[in-house]
Structure 1
Amino acid sequence: MLFLMKPLFPTYIVPVSSPLPHFRSPFHLMDFPPLKPISKSSLAQNHDLPVSTTSLSPISPQPILPSSPSLPASPKSIPNTVSSSSPSLSLPSLSSSTALPSLPPSEFSPSSTDSPHPSVELPASHATSSMSSCSLPLSPVSSLPPSLQPPRRIHPMITRSQVGTRKPRVLPSLLATGADIREPKTFKQACQFSEWRSAMVDEFLALLKNNTWSLVPRPSTVNVVGSKWVYRIKQKADGSIERFKAHLVAQGFTQQQSIDYDDTFSPVVKPVNIRTVLALAVMYSWPIHQLDVKNAFLHGRLSKVVYMSQPPGFIDPQYPDYVCRLNRALYGLKQAPRAWFQRFASFLFTRGFSQARSDSSMFLYHSNGAMAILLLYVDDIVLTASTTMLLHAIISLLKSEFLMTDLGQLNYFLGISVSFNSDGLFLSQSKYTHELLERSGMLDCKPVVTPMAPKAKLFSTDGPAYSDPAFYRSIVGALQYLTFTRPDIAFAVGQVCQHMHAPTHNHFTAVKRILRYLKGTLNYGLQLFRNSSLSLHMFTDADWAGCVDTRRSISGFCLFLGNSLISWSSKKQNTVARSSAEAEYCAIANAVAEVLWVRQLLSELHVFLHSPPMVYCDNISAIYMSLNPVQHQRTKHIEIDIHFVRERVASGIICIQYVPSSAQRADVLTKALSSALFRSQRSNLSVLCSPAQIAGG
């Protein structure tokens, strides 16, 4: 004997050869008492006939009859009113055979193995009444002969299905529970909470609204990429939750080059340009706004045909075997960032914007003496303009073409907190630093006053191998991003970065010292000053053979726009220097290249310097080589760099001047210093404690 468990969902047939035990259905049906034993002889001639048992479901199903001329044998024979080339996209309310009905949290646990993709309910306005069209046309029970009608319920229990009532399903709220909120890793985990379900529904409806895909029969000779839900908690600058975000992403790692995609490169604005524009905006008292583009990648247009599997939990029940032919780019595709950038840039070009030659992600607008600067980092935008009217006009223009949110005055961008004060603008990553300390288990560590012990050296084979290289790389990679506002740790981070391929315990000890230093300077950041002059001055320095493994030298420079630090570097040189003068001169060449690039950027922004950029060096021999056309046996192998610097000096584009070592601000970028000297150098780099922290302390 067979029983149909529930209509509209995947049909599960349960063979019955004995009285059914008291059990709880995996579909979250209510508990039912044992049924009266059924005589085997009553259906002896109808072993293949399923009999409906209404006590197994709160909705009484209709019995499925054997194949007959009057009934279609399969759904394929049902007339289909929807074109197979472009099926309706308004059927997202329930999944097909890969999805279970929505479960309440008490039933929904990782131990459940009923289905990998429970379904997510959509608002009624987006559901469809045509779902039943994919089911077989069933005859009513009364039309059956008496001998084939299902047995009537004989027990006295009254169920909710008999009286037509349903118990409302209430999902727990993450915000109401007060528990530690974590980002789920799987679709199944996310379905337990209402916030993530709502986020998935919002994302899915946005995809449908943008006509992201069309459901088509699965081609037999194409590559179909998978799909997955990714969850993120977007936080405010103070650490509070702003909103829950769910992104449907394509599994781009299954794409095939030249078949699914071609070029993938997409630029983002450079950190030095962000700091330069912010420094100028503060000096000119320009308004600065930030904008967030919603579903940015959906605006991109694909040059290749890409097929993707239907989203987990939102599989069309009428077409479970169909796939999504993407009409637009989607997160996860290798070419999606490039498609979005090209779409955004082409729109700006048609509206009179120009692209900066020094940075492809910087867009400039000039009109009647007014000017606007737009910086794009994937889907985050920083916009500043010389007038408030022009700024709001550009925001309205962008909103007319793209779905975006004006977040108001810049306060939190790319994990960087931006606060305005009487001196100008303060950039800090305190929240990011706190999260890094927590993730590394160093939140309660004892602080130290320097990020690296004075005169410390790291060897490649220094001690036994570290047990968790992946964790080492993760922490060091996070420290690299922290140098966006913390030049005081640039040298120490550069040293531990050289051993990512084979870290040792001593290397990780050096990493922990950096974290201990950050613990004591949690509220420090970079100050950009309002009262500043339009001048560029660069400090450059180098050690000699500082790397004990390769004997290469470490170059360092720091570039100031007025009093504001906008660019810095601590980097190992590409070649081995044969003298300290040679190492210093190579450092000058790298610094001059940076100065010329920033100078070109300023000219594009219509910022004209009062005097040529100044480059300060504490090595007289290196300065002499840059000023005089002398060559001898010890310098002929660096002739190209000599001519590069010498030509700029001769033409008056830059000036090189001597500075004593005690006033060399780049010294902290080339070596580990003592605590007293380090504090002085840190202050010279405008790395200060938060003004709000000082006022509150």
Structure 2
Amino acid sequence: MASAEELRSLGEAKVDARWRHAMEEEMENKTWELVDPLAGCKLIGLKWVYKVKKNERGDVVKHKARLVAKGFVQREGIDFEEVFAPVARMDSVRLLALAATRDWNVHHLDMKSAFLNGELTEVVYVKQPPGFTVAGEEDKVLRLRKALYGLRQAPRAWNIKLDSTLATPGFKRCASEHALYTRHSKEGLLIVGVYVDDLIVTGSQQQQIDSFKKEMAGKFKMSDLGLLSYYLGIEVRQGKEAIELCQSAYALKLLERAGLKGCNAAQVPMLEKPKLSKYGTDEKVDGTLYRSLIGGLRYLTHTQPDISFAVGYVSRFMEDPHKDHVAAVKHLLRYIAGSCELGLAYPRRKKISDLHLIGFSDSDMGGGGGAGWDLDGRKSTSAMVFFLETCPISWQSQKQKIVALSTCEAEYIAGAAATCQGVWPRRLLEETTGHSVAAPILRIDNNSAIELAKNPVLHSRSKHIDIKFHFIRDCVEKRQVILEQVGTSQQLADVFTKPLGKNKFEEMKNQVGMVVIQQGHPH
């Protein structure tokens, strides 16, 4: 009997009734017609892809067989024109915090065979599916009426179909986030977020949500998964007191991939004074595995902001990793082993009040100075974190593109980057709620950088700063962002700029909003 896990061949699938049923169910979609092949017509091959869908506990909930076109043979300008389709940013997904501040529930819809709804504008011919050739008509081919998975234009075709469908019930697509739709009516507000074939739905009235589900069920084959509990590898727990996000199952899989399952835990993600360089003398290692682990760690930062600096730091060595770089990644993974239960908790608010955005911006001059961690470029690290009320919704730790010549310049550049990020959630919140939102407050612990942002001062230490970084000055003048001075000890972005000692790290981690999530309750 074939395994319950993913299969690799049609022969294996044929001996398992579950996979045979999945293939027969896929063939019922019939998005094609059987025709005689045209002379000189280029055919696209098809293959079966098998996937098991699991819940947040890792239990198999569905066997899915996909008929996939070998789209890699398609030629741009001949077989397709445009392929781009927007998906929701993770920052937008974390605006689940908005639902928490309004005490709303969030629902999850899964569109079945979503790409098969996309209408093609090009003429596309494919071979008959393996194992399902029509007897007596083996020489005929399939002309597609709608898209198939694997076609280069399939995601765009599906997005256009969904966009036109949502436009009819009165939805408006957000200009700040093209994968987010809102509908304002007398009954209240309804918000829909789209990530390919997954829709997350929230709003002020449960009746509106139920009505929307019926509308969509009448137009597409879909599964109503109820309250959102698992989304893009993120576990979502909607309790009476808070909406909680974590990636504990994903973290455990990452540890297993690295061969560190059951390892001893580390107390901090990175040692205080790492001495790593791109030009190290240690032995080189397998770059494929190194890059794979870094990719997994970067995805883990979506609910664990406390590892953002460490992940960004070890990402600098992906091109040519050495043993000392791997040692730093393993230390980080050992920290993950002891913090799998950490996540974010967005407290529910029973009383509706005005929304407030508060951000923190910081930098670390020259990578820690002469004995710092950026041994190769002496570039500073920009860091920022934004909160909706007390809920962290956006954060970043990134090496600056240029070498800053002073602490003021490094802080000014970091503030400009934070401003670019801070004006976006304000616009998005105003579009979704239909109400004005106060200008975000940005807290910086460097008075010189604040003065430089408020006044057009040109002197020897600032006149060389690239004009793009003066965006912060324009936003301050227009009152799109309000700068405030904050003491270094209260600078929450500090944890994103450098490795900290155990006590300081624990303190900053708690202030950023990390909590232990156990049995659906934060501690």
Query: 1:541 aligned to 362, 381, 391, which one?
Result: 362
| Mapping for residues 144-543 of structure 1, pairs under 5 Å | 172=1, 174=3, 181-205=4-28, 207-208=29-30, 212-276=31-95, 278-368=96-186, 370-531=188-349, 534-543=355-364
- How far apart are 1:533 and its partner, in Å? 6.3
Residue equivalent to 2:425: 598
- Deviation of 1:550 (Å): 2.3
Question: Greater CA deviation, 528-537 or 446-455?
Answer: 528-537
Measure, in 1, the Cα distance between the counterparts of 2:469 and 2:105. Answer: 43
Which amino acid in structure 2 is aligned with residue 686 of structure 1?
Answer: G
Q: Which residue of 1 is the match for residue 371 of structure 2? A: none
Distance 2:508 2:354 in 1: 21
CA distance in 1, matches of 2:466, 2:285: 46
Q: Which residue of 1 aligns with 2:406?
A: 579
Task: State the Cα deviation string for residues 20-62 of structure 1 (Å, max 9, x = none).
Answer: xxxxxxxxxxxxxxxxxxxxxxxxxxxxxxxxxxxxxxxxxxx
Q: What TM-score results when the alignment is normalised by the length of structure 2?
A: 0.94
Matches within 5 A, 1:643-654: 643-654=470-481
Q: Does the CA contact (< 8 Å) of 1:455 and 1:671 recur in 2?
A: no
Question: 1:369: Cα distance to partner?
Answer: 5.4
Distance change in 2, residues 1:693/1:420 (3 Å):
closer
Q: Give deviations 1:112-150, integer Å, cap 9, x for gaps.
A: xxxxxxxxxxxxxxxxxxxxxxxxxxxxxxxxxxxxxxx
Does the 8 Å CA contact 1:264/1:338 hold for their aligned counterparts?
Answer: yes
Cα distance, 1:422 vs. partner?
4.4
**1:396 shift after superposition:** 0.8
Q: 1:623 aligns with which of 436, 440, 450?
A: 450
Measured in 2, the distance between the counterparts of 1:549 and 1:183 equals 44
| Contact 2:426–2:439 (Cα < 8 Å) also in 1 | no
RMSD: 1.9
Rounded Cα–Cα distance in structure 2 between residues aligned with 1:506 and 1:191: 48
3-state secondary structure, aligned to 1:680:
helix
- Structure 2 distance, partners of 1:184, 1:465, is 37
Task: State the shift of 1:235 in Å.
Answer: 0.6
Q: 1:639 deviation in Å? A: 5.6
* Per-residue CA distance 1:659-689 (angstroms, 9 max, x = gap): 1111111111111111111111111111111
Work out the CA distance in 2 between the residues paired with 1:516 and 1:693.
24
CA distance in 2, matches of 1:222, 1:552: 55
Q: Which amino acid aligns with 2:8?
A: K
Change (3 A) 1:465 1:325: farther
Looking at secondary structure, tell me which structure has more strand per residue: 2
Higher RCO structure (Cα 8 Å, ≥6 apart) = 2
Deviations 1:352-405 (A, max 9, x none): 111101000001101115110000000000001111111111111111111111
2:493 to 666, 670, 683: 666
- Quote how far apart the aligned CAs of 1:307 are: 1.5
Q: Partners of 2:366 and 2:441 in 1: how far apart?
A: 27
Q: Distance in 1 between matches of 2:83 and 2:254?
A: 31
Is this contact kept in 2: 1:626–1:645, CA < 8 A? yes
Identity among equivalent pairs (%): 40
TM-aligned CA distance change 1:560 to 1:533, over 3 Å: farther
When structure 1 is superposed on structure 2, of 556-565 and 503-512 the one drifting more is 503-512
- 1:221 maps to a residue whose letter is G
How big is the shift at 1:608?
A: 4.4
> Would you identify which runs of 4 or more consecutive aligned residues in structure 1 move more than 6 Å?
none
8 A Cα contact 1:460 1:499, kept in partner:
yes
**Residues 356, 677 of structure 1: CA spacing in aligned structure 2 closer, same or farther, 3 A cutoff?**
same
Cα displacement (A) at 1:464: 3.7
CA contact (8 A) 1:538 1:595 kept: yes
- Deviation of 1:431 (Å): 1.0
Quick one: distance in 2 between partners of 1:609 and 1:484? Answer: 28
Shift of 1:192: 3.4
Task: Deviation per CA, 1:468-508: give whole Å up to 9, x if none.
Answer: 21121112111111111111111111112222221111211
Give the one of 372, 381, 396 matched to 1:554: 381
Q: Does structure 2 retain, via aligned residues, the 8 Å contact 1:289–1:407?
A: yes
Given that 2:2 and 2:13 are in contact with CA atoms closer than 8 Å, whether structure 1 keeps it comes out as no
Judge conservation of contact 2:239–2:520 (CA < 8 Å) in 1.
no
Whole-Å separation in 2 of the counterparts to 1:185 and 1:514? 34
- Using the TM superposition, name which of 492-501 and 226-235 deviates more: 492-501
Give the Å deviation of 1:465.
4.8
Alpha-carbon displacement from aligned partner over 1:127-184 (angstroms, at most 9, x marks no partner):
xxxxxxxxxxxxxxxxxxxxxxxxxxxxxxxxxxxxxxxxxxxxx375xxxxxx4311
Structure 1 unaligned segments of length 5 or more: list them: 1-171, 175-180
Query: In the TM superposition, what whole-angstrom CA distance separates every residue of 1:295-348 from its partner, at most 9, and x where no partner exists?
Result: 000000111111212211111221222222111101111110000000000111
| Paired amino acid for 2:153 | Q
Q: Is the 8 A contact 2:187 2:208 kept in 1?
A: no
Counterpart-to-counterpart distance in 1, 2:318 and 2:388: 34
In structure 1, give the amino acid aligned to 2:402.
Answer: T
Give, in angstroms, the shift of residue 262 of structure 1: 0.8
CA, structure 1 residues 609+687, in 2 after alignment: closer, same or farther (shift >3 Å)?
farther
Q: How does 1:116-135 map to 2 (within 5 A)?
A: none
Shift of 1:607: 5.9
* Contact 1:287 1:387 (C-alpha < 8 Å) held by counterparts: no
Write the distance in 2 (CA, Å) between the matches of 1:694 and 1:390: 29
Output one character per residue of 1:267-289: Cα deviation in whole Å (capped at 9) or x when no partner: 1011111111x111111122311
CA contact (8 A) 1:626 1:642 kept: no
- Which shifted more, 225-234 or 545-554? 545-554
Corresponding residue for 1:68?
none
Q: Any conservation in 1 of the 2:109–2:224 contact (CA below 8 Å)?
A: yes
Relative to structure 1, the CA distance from residue 492 to residue 391 in structure 2 (aligned partners, 3 Å threshold; closer, same or farther) is same
Give the superposition deviation at 1:548. 2.2
Letter in structure 2 aligned against 1:214: E
Q: Partners of 2:432 and 2:76 in 1: how far apart? A: 39
Question: Displacement of 1:217 after TM fit?
Answer: 2.4
2:177 partner SS: coil
For the structure 1 residues 642 and 219, does the alpha-carbon distance in structure 2 shift closer, same or farther, using more than 3 Å as the test?
closer
The answer (yes or no) to whether the contact 2:237–2:520 under 8 Å persists in 1 is no
Whether contact under 8 Å (2:36, 2:140) holds in the other structure is: yes
In structure 2, the partner of 1:112 is: none
Residue type matched to 1:272 in 2?
Answer: D
Task: Choose 1 or 2 for highest CA Rg.
Answer: 1
Quote the Cα distance in structure 2 between the aligned partners of 1:637 and 1:315.
Answer: 69
Equivalent of residue 507 in structure 2, options 680, 686, 691: 680
